[in-house]
Structure 1
């Protein structure tokens, strides 16, 4: 399957609350969720920044590619599903 279009046609930028809700729905800690999509040395801290409220010092938006990957690997993507080969 070839995916046409840009990533913003498949997913939108989530709010920090949506990031937290998706992690909790997957039953994951911030450490485990961060490890799924981040190559940072401290994936928990990276994930926590994505859950911080907008306007706080350490808030960062989750990159859309990381968000889409998280949704795919946790089976929460709104339109796509991973298939095992």
Structure 2
């Protein structure tokens, strides 16, 4: 990740083996708590997933995409809460 980046989303997939993933990284904990960064990176991740599955993103097909963005955002929140819990 670039030193000037607040957050970064990367994806990789192998069509032959039908495997892949999306990685979202935040430069700091504060960035991971910033709703603008979370929404921004969640949208990038959702677009990568839609590209992988051949999904269409347009005004007549908003709901699946929006729900996926929300789910990804919740995953970020859960990961942040997991990392900050005191054991």
Q: State the TM-score, normalizing by the size of structure 1.
A: 0.27
The structure with more strand, counted as a fraction of residues: 2
- Of structures 1 and 2, the one scoring higher in RCO (CA 8 A, sep 6+) is 1
The structure with more helix, counted as a fraction of residues: 2
Q: State the TM-score, normalizing by the size of structure 2.
A: 0.27
Rg (Cα) greater in structure: 2
